[in-house]
A and B are shown apart, each in its own frame.
Chain A
């Protein structure tokens, strides 16, 4: 089944403790992206990647890092999480620029 898989689905962590949310797609898509969803703010793009080793900042990149060492994986790294990063995170991929993204099921992160 073609899909984008994120792990974990739920995560509660403490301020300052580094964490990684993994994302993997099995569709051989070139493009991948991370979004966060917050009430009243919709979906905001954190980072995106056009191919292996090619990434760029979205609208809200502060406090996040990404890497794209393999085509299928695009992990989101929070080096020192803070409570304002409590949010619902989505990873997405698409086969070409402009095509609709396929989204993962989301990761609900709580930073206390």
Chain B
């Protein structure tokens, strides 16, 4: 039972354009969401997070949007750069157990120069 789903295994975007990575979740108890980036042969790196009390959080070129009613979140990268090419994981946790984090299957982003 995949509680966090990333339905697009891969995405290609031209350099300078916007990258939009999507994530859906099924567990209504999730109230904290994170995005991680992973390069080959390295561990995932924390990118940005959002609490369910917000619907948007920005950090530089990265913005995460949360639509609680649709149980959907997205990561926007603007402008996309070749160095952003990596696998992006969406993750979620619930209050009372934030250390128990459920990850999605990942989306491989390729930014084409």
Q: Which positions in B face A, CB cutoff 8 Å? A: 4, 6, 32, 34, 36, 41-47, 49, 89, 91, 93, 97-106
Contact = CB atoms under 8 A, between A and B. Distances in A.
Contact of A50 (B45, B99, B101): B99
Contacts of B91: 43
Interface residues of A, number: 27
Secondary structure class of chain A's binding surface, majority of residues: strand
B36 A100 contact: yes
Contacts of A58: 100
A98 B33 CA distance: 9
Interface string A76-109: 0000000000000010101001101111111000
A2 to B, nearest CB: 13
Contact of A100 (B49, B102, B104): B49
Given A4-B43, A43-B89, A106-B43, A98 B98 contact: yes
Closest 9 CB pairs of A and B: A100-B46, A103-B43, A97-B98, A98-B98, A42-B105, A43-B103, A42-B103, A31-B99, A103-B44
